[in-house]
Amino acid sequence: MKVGFIGLGNMGSALALAVSKTEGVEVLLSNHNQNQAEKVQAQAGGRILSNSELVQQADVIFLGVKPHVLFPLLKGLEDRLQHHPSAVWISMAAGISLEQLSQHLPASQIVRIMPNTPVAIGQGMTTYALINPELAAVTEQLLSKSGQVKQVEEKLMDTATALAGCGPAFVYQWIEAMMDAGVAHGLTADDAKYLAAQTLLGSAQMVLNSSKHPAQLRQEVTSPGGSTIAGVVKLEKEGLRYAILSAVKAAIKRTKELGRKTK
């Protein structure tokens, strides 16, 4: 299977590297910056082609360009698209719906995905939506080396984007704040980073491995009158929960705006 990537930014290059590890796949690369394409090729292998050459040869094409660039790109490839109607198109452009994509591509051949940056280390969370259920298998196969993959309804993709796609940035902010707290009270930056990151990693794994609600797991850490509950009360007082709710809401709103701006 020949799998092409148009656009090799942080997300496109990370997915190209993950997909290149799939057995039986040849990676084709295209990017406006030749140096970046060569850098990705050095890690993922494959061939560097122009957009038109890639579209003619690839069985599956990942679109890793910004939302405002996507439709001008597809318009410029209209002649080539007609010669390869069986190609599967996988878009990772935030806010761009399947309906919008189907104005330029065959609706039965489109998948909309939203990965997050941990795909670079095989620990990503990618959500996807599609019209043709027959494309689910190939989508999950190609993304299997990138981490976890989950299909969601199209109407929930903007929410999934805000939660999982934008979520790493919120988590990094939490780790950074925990580091600062540790340093403020005597830990070295390296030790504080290690303690904060491993605490997050272990706690997240507990949530995934347990059937308990996160609230119950939190209660199991908070002894009556102890230090943990003192910190929990302070977080509630300072509005941590509301801040997270607001951040996700703002990210959803912006994702929808990005989709509308391309119309």
Do 96 and 259 contact (CB within 8 A), yes or no? yes
Sign of torsion, CA 201 205 208 213? Answer: negative
Q: Is 10 assigned to a binding site?
A: yes
Q: Is 51 assigned to a binding site?
A: yes
Q: E strands, the chain, where? A: 2-6, 26-30, 47-48, 60-63, 88-91, 110-114, 124-130, 147-151
Do the strands 2-6 and 60-63 form a parallel or antiparallel pair, or are they unpaired? Answer: parallel
Structure-token pair, residue 116: 């997050």
CB-based contacts of 206: which residues, under 8 Å, 6+ apart?
A: 217
* CB-facing half-sphere around the CA of 52: CA atoms within 13 A: 6
What's the CA gap between 127 and 116, in Å, rounded? 9
Helix (H) or strand (E) holding 220: helix 214-221
Q: Is 76 assigned to a binding site?
A: no
What's the CA gap between 211 and 47, in Å, rounded? 45
Q: Is 11 assigned to a binding site?
A: yes
The binding site consists of 6-11, 51
The binding site for NADPH consists of 51
The binding site for NADP(+) consists of 6-11
